[in-house]
């Protein structure tokens, strides 16, 4: 009889045995309601949290179903503390409900439990947002809707917002059956499911929330599907001018809208139309303490707001979003991870997770490319080891990231992938400039003018450029469908979402069914190696595994008798002699 792979502990951690035949099945069962904490070679550790349970309940998973999954795979009885936690947190979401007041004057915070209503009315962080008593509950001023939801989430009582939304100015929009570029068009089943899950009944229960899909799975098409259902003026918030232009091109290519229907509100243009595209940076820009551009955009009668890459929402946009609760709000992202710990605010202000699909499930269906992930650990030369040992902690991070021994490894990998489309991605400008010279490849950074960026991206797509060296500006919302190799030379500390986004640059399905290859190069026995392990957590949760290889301080493979993991440079898994 096969041993079950899971150990459920009373401290809300879950230990999952990787080498168990039921590992993948159990992992997929946990993903919907547990967060991956760490993932060494043999045992992965998950954790249950209030937010993971609330999101699961909002997506339709019941507490009983969560417990059943734990019991199905657990070697031992599920501790009563875990059963109690899941039951308690599962019942918290939706105990408080926000509705339109019965007399139509503002909103109404209500619930079936009078004791709970009394409890929150005594909480000092909630009191400022409560209006007069409206039994059972309280009248709420519409402008307090978002702030109240934030406050209630912070104290552990997330409210189910059923107060409905403005219809917005009408806009007739149809999805094409054939794109302008001559390709047949229809939404995939999971894209239709995602749009339906967000929309719900179109009245009050849904219409706000997050759709989570990996890069390359067509989140933009989900957005267009929601726009088609809404038939209303739409504001789309993006991460950059390049992403803004990609959204515009997709809308023109795949819907009946014309250029006259689409406006750009950017540093270059200040236009507002039926569909308006802007950036987070511009929206949160302040002049003399005022969000001047937000005021101009907020005055329009939007029925739908789309937040692209919602996990990147800047702090000022959280505050602005608190006043946008009467509009339908769709967040699109590949991962709900926020390194700043503000995932609860995304939950409160944009909405709960409405749809999620495992990366490996989409890979198995052929909607995203399969990918092999490799970590190559490079030694520091003695002179750099001495600098590292005596440096301050912040300087150590940079010394490890800019290890010169990485250069010959990158050159070798680029030579090995001579017929592929390669992205070399890093954090530090000096390192990237040196790589650009060595590889004789164009460099794109934050200083590259938008027109030049788009020219280089276009040349890469067309095959005129085979290798691009890019900074973190290419992490998000850049459509490079033929990129099939990514080499990461440095990153943002232990950022899990950055790792996921960088792998996502190469996951779009390839015309010839090619797989993708992701390399991350780290300095061994440094903080960078620790950061790398943290960065990989989310992708490990999605089913990816990293082979580990080694190179010496000259960037050359270590002398090992075993076959290499990758053809060039010759390297082997850690721990073999």
Q: Any idea where the domains of the chain sit in the sequence?
A: 6-92, 96-161, 189-357, 367-551
Give dist(CA 216, CA 202) in Å, integer: 27
Determine the longest span between alpha carbons in the chain, in angstroms.
80
pLDDT tens across 349-366, in order? 898 888 888 787 888 888
What CATH homologous superfamily does 367-551 map to?
P-loop containing nucleotide triphosphate hydrolases (3.40.50.300)
Tell me the pTM. Answer: 0.82
Looking up tokens 């890069």 gives 215
Three-state DSSP class for residue 184: strand
Give dist(CA 11, CA 26) in Å, integer: 20
Give dist(CA 219, CA 195) in Å, integer: 10
pLDDT tens across 81-108, in order? 999 999 999 999 989 999 999 999 999 9
Give the containing element (helix H, strand E) for 410.
Answer: helix 406-416
pLDDT at 574: 35
Residue-wise over 316-341: b if at least 16 C-beta within 10 A, else e? bbbbbbbbbbbbbbbbbbbbbbbeee
pLDDT at 173: 95
Structure tokens, 478: 């850049």
Other residues' Cβ atoms within 10 Å of the Cβ of residue 133: 11
278, β-bridge pairs: 237
Give dist(CA 345, CA 362) in Å, integer: 28
pLDDT at 560: 37
Q: What percent of the chain has pLDDT over 90?
A: 48
Contact at 8 Å (CB) between 317 and 237?
Answer: yes
Give dist(CA 197, CA 344) in Å, integer: 20
Question: What residues contact residue 353 under an 8 Å CB cut-off, 6+ apart?
Answer: 55, 58, 59, 209, 210, 212, 336, 347
pLDDT at 512: 67
Give dist(CA 357, CA 213) in Å, integer: 6
Three-state DSSP class for residue 505: coil
Cα separation of the two ends of the chain: 35
Residue-wise over 163-199: b if at least 16 C-beta within 10 A, else e? bbbeebeebebeebeeeeeeeebebeebbebbbebbb
- Would you put residue 501 in left (φ > 0), alpha (ψ -120 to 50) or beta? alpha
Helices and strands of the chain, counted as H and E runs: 22, 22
Structure tokens, 342: 């503000």
The CATH number of the structural domain formed by 189-357 is: 3.40.50.300
Give the containing element (helix H, strand E) for 388.
Answer: helix 382-390
- Mean pLDDT, consecutive 10-residue stretches, the chain (577 aa), reads 90 93 91 80 87 89 95 96 96 92 93 92 94 93 92 93 92 93 89 91 75 87 96 93 90 95 92 94 80 86 93 80 89 80 84 85 84 89 90 87 92 91 92 95 89 88 91 69 86 72 76 80 87 78 80 59 34 32
Between the alpha carbon of residue 523 and those of residues 194, 384, 399, 493, 560, the distances in Å are: 41, 11, 9, 13, 19
**Is the backbone peptide bond immediately before 136 cis, with ω within 30 degrees of 0?**
yes
């Amino acid at each position: 009889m096969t041993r079950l792979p899971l150990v459920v502990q009373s401290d809300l951690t879950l230990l999952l045995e990787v080498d168990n035949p039921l590992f993948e099945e159990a992992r997929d069962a946990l993903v919907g309601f547990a967060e991956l904490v760490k993932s060494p070679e043999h045992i992965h550790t998950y954790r249950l949290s209030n937010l993971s349970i609330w999101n699961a309940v909002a997506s339709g998973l019941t507490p009983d179903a969560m417990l059943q999954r734990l019991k199905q795979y657990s070697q031992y009885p599920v501790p009563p503390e875990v059963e109690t936690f899941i039951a308690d947190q599962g019942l918290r979401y939706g105990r408080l409900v926000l509705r339109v007041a019965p007399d139509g004057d503002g909103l109404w915070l209500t619930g079936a439990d009078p004791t709970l209503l009394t409890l929150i009315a005594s909480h000092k962080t909630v009191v400022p947002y409560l209006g007069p008593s409206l039994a059972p509950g309280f009248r709420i001023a519409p402008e307090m809707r978002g702030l109240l939801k934030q406050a209630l989430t912070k104290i552990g009582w997330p409210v189910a917002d059923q107060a409905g939304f403005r219809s917005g100015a009408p806009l007739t929009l149809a999805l094409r059956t054939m794109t302008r570029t001559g390709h047949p068009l229809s939404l995939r089943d999971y894209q239709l499911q995602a749009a339906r899950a967000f929309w719900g009944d179109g009245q009050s229960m849904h219409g706000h929330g997050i759709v989570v899909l990996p890069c390359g799975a067509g989140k933009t098409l989900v957005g267009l599907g929601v726009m088609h259902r809404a038939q209303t003026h739409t504001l789309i918030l993006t991460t950059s001018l390049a992403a803004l232009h990609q959204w515009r091109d997709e809308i023109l290519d795949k819907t009946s809208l014309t250029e006259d229907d689409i406006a750009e509100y950017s540093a270059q243009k200040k236009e507002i139309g039926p569909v308006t595209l802007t950036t987070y940076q511009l929206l949160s820009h302040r002049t003399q303490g005022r969000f001047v551009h937000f005021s101009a955009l907020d005055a329009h009668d939007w029925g739908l707001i789309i937040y692209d890459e919602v996990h990147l929402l800047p702090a000022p946009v959280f505050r602005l979003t608190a006043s946008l609760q009467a509009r339908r709000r769709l967040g699109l992202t590949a991962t709900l991870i926020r390194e700043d710990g503000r995932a609860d605010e995304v939950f409160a202000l944009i909405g709960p997770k409405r749809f999620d699909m495992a990366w490996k499930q989409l890979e198995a269906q052929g909607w995203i490319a399969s990918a092999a992930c490799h970590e190559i650990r490079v030694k520091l030369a003695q002179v750099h080891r001495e600098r590292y040992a005596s440096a301050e902690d912040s300087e150590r991070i940079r010394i490890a990231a800019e290890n010169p021994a990485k250069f010959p490894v990158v050159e070798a990998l680029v030579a090995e992938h001579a017929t592929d489309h390669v992205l070399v991605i890093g954090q530090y400008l000096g390192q990237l400039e040196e790589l650009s010279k060595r590889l004789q490849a164009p460099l794109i950074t934050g200083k590259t003018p938008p027109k030049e960026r788009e020219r280089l991206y276009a040349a890469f797509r067309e095959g005129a450029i085979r290798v691009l060296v890019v900074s973190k500006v290419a992490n998000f919302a850049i459509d490079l469908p033929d990129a099939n190799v990514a080499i990461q030379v440095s990153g943002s500390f232990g950022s899990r979402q950055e790792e996921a986004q960088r792998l996502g640059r190469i996951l779009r399905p390839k015309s010839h069914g090619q797989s993708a290859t992701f390399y991350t190069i780290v300095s061994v026995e440094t903080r960078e190696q620790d950061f790398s392990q943290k960065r990989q957590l989310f992708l490990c949760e999605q089913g990816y595994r990293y082979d580990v290889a080694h190179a010496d301080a000259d960037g050359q493979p270590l002398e090992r008798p075993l076959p290499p993991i990758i053809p060039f440079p010759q390297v082997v898994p850690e721990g073999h002699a």
